A and B are shown apart, each in its own frame.
Chain A
Amino acid sequence: MEKLGRILRIGPTDNTSNERTPRENLRIIPPAARDSFLPYSRVQPGIRMGENDLTRLAPQMPRAEGDAIEMSGQILDDIGQPLRHALVEIWNANKYGKYAHDLDGYDAPLDPNFSGLGRTLTDEEGRYKFWTIDPGCYLARPDINRWRPKHIHLSIRGGASRLITQMYFKDAEHNDTDPMRIVMAEDFHLNIGKKYETPDIDVERGFKFDIVIRGKNSTFFE
């Protein structure tokens, strides 16, 4: 019998997931074609100063509303090697759960001092650091009153590694009913930032989010 790949799960109560998730099994890639499925990106955009501080639009500008938080961590491949000089992009909603994105129609205030966009490059040890505003949760399905718990989006790319994911917060409101959290099941803990104190820094608290990503040295399990 023909060997097939995974069936992708549909996030419960997620309309887009229902509309866009393939119903058939994924197909196994023939060994001769495996390498061709692994993109390699040389893109290394210029990063402006202060782009990893989302709490102000520019260094001299007023601070955005809400609690300023630090988010930091290390990006490793699955054998523990740091991912150096990789592009890390984050985006998150403001204190009220509203994105500055022009497609966000959620009925909550915009903060004129918060764009919600930041990016940086990892250092020699694969470390990154951002300051942002503790995001609000938002009502994703008003028809059934289903909310998205607070979260910070991340995209990582560098060399042959890339990942799009989200950092969540421990025991946050609405975590349990979130479709992607339900799909992640017992692995959800891997996507939770670990809180730490930031006594001498100009932010309320920190969250450590270490990330493990498949890199060029990956092997296949079958």
Chain B
Amino acid sequence: MNDTINPTNRLPLTNEDTVGPYYPISYDHDDGMDLTKSTIGQQFGAKGDKIILRGRYLDKDGNGAHGALIEFWQANAQGVFRTEDTEASPEIDPHFDGYTRHRTVTGGFQLKTIKSGTQLGRAPNITLTLFSDGISRLVTQVFFENEVSNETDPVLLSLPQDKREKLIARLVGEDDDNVPIYDIEIILAGKGETPFFDDFLALGWRD
């Protein structure tokens, strides 16, 4: 291999590739779109304020990104992510995972969850990763309208003002149980494009 592009002794990473148009629908049956209940049929549920996030992924021509796989990832009501390292922390909510995924039919999704807490100066947010035909992976974070902490969130502050607006979901109403509903439109390409982030955690970073 070429030592100049891999200056460490790390192994060269397998390339990411498109998920293609035929990701098996049957594989995400277990991945619920309601993170507020860890076990169906029990009264236990996640701590925190329930919200519904409705989103649409739109392509360059304004069509929904059908057949794409979306991952959702967020902190719990205390602002703590549930990982291997935090599993034993008293701030972990045993009834909240913070991770799920969903395959779009026409480009839209609806996730019922709780609003994450604010820790380390972060505003409540959800990380969205999109795997789709034609592209390998796209990552961004979605925030919520009327949160004071948006003003100081480092991700939002890293963007020009017009791009910040693109990541803020708008409060549009509530459902029958008075759960607030937020809407976000994510424009993949072209006019009004949503900002996406270079996490380069799963990609080899070379320059």
Report chain A residues within 8 Å CB of B23: 91, 153, 155
Tell yes or no: A191 within 8 A of B by CB: yes
Instruction: Give the CA-CA distance A89 to B24 in the complex, in Å.
Output: 9
| Residues 190-203 of chain A, each 1 if its beta carbon lies under 8 Å from chain B, else 0 | 11000000000000
Partner of B27, one of A78, A104, A119, A221: A119
Instruction: Given A30-B158, A33-B154, A164-B131, decide whether A79 and B99 contact each other with a Cβ distance below 8 A.
Output: no
Tell yes or no: A35 within 8 A of B by CB: yes
A36 and B12: CB pair below 8 A? Answer: no
B133 and A16: CB pair below 8 A? Answer: yes
A82 to chain B minimum Cβ distance, whole angstroms, is 12
Partner of B155, one of A6, A14, A29, A221: A29
B11 and A220: CB pair below 8 A? Answer: no
B24 and A117: CB pair below 8 A? Answer: yes
Instruction: Given A43-B31, A162-B202, decide whether A212 and B14 contact each other with a Cβ distance below 8 A.
Output: yes
Tell yes or no: B20 within 8 A of A by CB: yes
A162 to chain B minimum Cβ distance, whole angstroms, is 7
Interface members, chain B 117-137 (any A CB < 8 Å): 120-122, 125, 127, 129, 131-137
B14 and A39: CB pair below 8 A? Answer: no
Tell yes or no: B109 within 8 A of A by CB: no
B155 and A30: CB pair below 8 A? Answer: yes
A106 to chain B minimum Cβ distance, whole angstroms, is 10
Report chain B residues within 8 Å CB of A166: 17-18, 20
B196 and A26: CB pair below 8 A? Answer: yes
A33 and B196: CB pair below 8 A? Answer: no
Q: How many residues of A contact B (CB 8 A)?
A: 72
Report chain A residues within 8 Å CB of B197: 5, 26-29, 37
A20 and B16: CB pair below 8 A? Answer: no
Instruction: Given A20-B59, A101-B22, A214-B202, decide whether A165 and B188 contact each other with a Cβ distance below 8 A.
Output: no
B contact patch SS? loop
Interface members, chain B 60-110 (any A CB < 8 Å): 60-61, 63, 65, 67, 69, 71, 73, 75, 81-84, 97, 99
A19 and B202: CB pair below 8 A? Answer: no
A22 to chain B minimum Cβ distance, whole angstroms, is 5
Partner of A29, one of B12, B27, B199: B199
B13 and A19: CB pair below 8 A? Answer: no
| Residues 34-55 of chain B, each 1 if its beta carbon lies under 8 Å from chain A, else 0 | 0000000000000000000000
Look across to chain B and name the residue whose beta carbon is closest to the beta carbon of A216.
B84
Look across to chain B and name the residue whose beta carbon is closest to the beta carbon of A6.
B198
Partner of A39, one of B27, B71, B205: B71
Report chain B residues within 8 Å CB of A180: 17-18, 136
Task: Among A22, A104, A116, A153, find the residue whose CB has the most chain B CB atoms closer than 10 A.
Answer: A22
B199 and A160: CB pair below 8 A? Answer: no
Interface members, chain A 25-78 (any B CB < 8 Å): 26-30, 32-43, 45, 76, 78
Report chain A residues within 8 Å CB of B134: 11, 14-21
A173 to chain B minimum Cβ distance, whole angstroms, is 18
B63 and A19: CB pair below 8 A? Answer: yes
**Sorted from nearest, which 9 A-B pairs have the closest CB atoms?**
A5-B198, A16-B134, A17-B134, A26-B198, A39-B73, A101-B22, A19-B59, A30-B154, A40-B83
Residues of A participating in the B interface, judged by any CB pair closer than 8 Å: 5-6, 8, 11, 14-24, 26-30, 32-43, 45, 76, 78-80, 89, 91, 99, 101-104, 116-117, 119, 153, 155, 159-166, 180, 184, 187-188, 190-191, 211-214, 216, 218, 220-222
Residues of B participating in the A interface, judged by any CB pair closer than 8 Å: 10-27, 30-31, 59-61, 63, 65, 67, 69, 71, 73, 75, 81-84, 97, 99, 120-122, 125, 127, 129, 131-139, 141, 153-155, 157-159, 163, 188-190, 193-203, 205-207
Task: Show 14 residue pairs from A and B whose CB-CB distance is below 8 angstroms, ordered by the A residue.
Answer: A16-B135, A21-B188, A21-B189, A36-B127, A37-B199, A39-B127, A101-B25, A153-B20, A159-B84, A164-B131, A180-B136, A212-B14, A221-B205, A221-B207
